Amino acid sequence: TKPQVQIMAADQQSSKSYGWFPKHFDSQVIIYGKQVIINLVNQKGSEKPLEQTFATMVSSLGSGMIRYIVFDFHKKYKNMRWNPLSILLDQVAEIQDELNYFLVDSAGKVVTNQEGMFPSNCMDCLDRTNVILSLLACRFLQAQLQRPGVLHVGQNLEEQDEFEKIYKNVWADNANAGAKQYARNCTLKTDFTRTGKRTQLGLIRNGWNSLKLYYKINYSDGFR
């Protein structure tokens, strides 16, 4: 069965887990700059305590270099309605522009620097996370292609059918590669990553993959 989330009591906050949390983000800020954490776990059920504790720990850091955004992925997209993805993208668009990206011109001169990153998570950081990161990466890539005129201002990558197909398949294959290392099974939600929409066929495949994953975790390959 799915492991239950267990949160340590407040009197254990001096333990290694709590001690390493600020150290981890201190090092992330030093290396990458601003941190915009996107937490995609459920806001109810067994995942809720994990989000609440994560939010409390981030708040306790009191760092102006760290922002925390919680987005209940499954609640927003129940009944196969995926349009609300744009809500999250719109919410972070200004922040994403502020963080910028690294760019060097043909003479080797640094034109722009990346000022931060988007660490994100779901429960295993394969399904929900991969969908969101693929969309954030697409938005950055579009800006990068518009800058030298490969794409005109106002022209979207979604309009480039052949390229979009290749791009989405790369991200879906990336998710599957990680999932097979993690649990010897394909990841879920790749129908959305590959096609940009949730389909009935994809839902059936997800159900089949979930059954295979359940069997492998509980009966054949639990050590992973």
Domain membership flag for residue 105 = no
Is this model's pTM higher than 0.75 or not? yes
- Bin 35: left if φ > 0, else alpha if -120 < ψ < 50, else beta: beta
For residue range 183-211, what is the model confidence (pLDDT) as tens digits?
666 565 566 666 666 566 656 666 666 66
Q: Which of 85, 21, 84 is nearest to 55 (CA)?
A: 21
Q: How far is CA 129 from CA 25, 110, 199, in A?
A: 19, 30, 19
Domain membership flag for residue 106 = no
**Residue 117 pairs with which residues in a beta bridge?**
35
Percent of the chain with pLDDT over 70: 71
Boundaries of domain holding 51: 22-97+115-121
For residue range 10-52, what is the model confidence (pLDDT) as tens digits?
555 555 667 888 999 999 999 999 999 999 999 888 889 989 9
Same domain, 180 and 145: yes
Same domain, 46 and 61: yes
Domain membership flag for residue 9 = no
Over range 86-90, report the average pLDDT: 88
Same domain, 38 and 93: yes
The total of structural domains in the chain comes to 3
Q: Which of 189, 164, 160 is nearest to 82 (CA)?
A: 189
Same domain, 143 and 206: no
pLDDT band of residue 67 (cuts 50, 70, 90) is: very high
Give me the amino acid identity at 179: A
Same domain, 88 and 28: yes
Same domain, 51 and 83: yes
Same domain, 196 and 178: no
**Does residue 120 carry a pLDDT above 60?**
yes
Same domain, 30 and 88: yes
Contact call for residues 60 and 73 (beta carbons, < 8 A) = no
Domain membership flag for residue 107 = no
Can you point out the beta strands (E) in 25-163?
A: 34-39, 66-70, 103-104, 110-112, 116-117, 120-121
Domain membership flag for residue 14 = no
Give the phi and the psi of residue 59 in degrees, each rounded to 5.
-60, -35
CA 98 to chain centre: 19
Which span out of 1-10, 141-150, 153-162, 193-202 was modeled with the highest average pLDDT?
Answer: 141-150
- The Cα–Cα gap between 182 and 207 comes to 18
Give me the amino acid identity at 148: P
Contact call for residues 212 and 222 (beta carbons, < 8 A) = no
Domain membership flag for residue 102 = no
Same domain, 44 and 57: yes
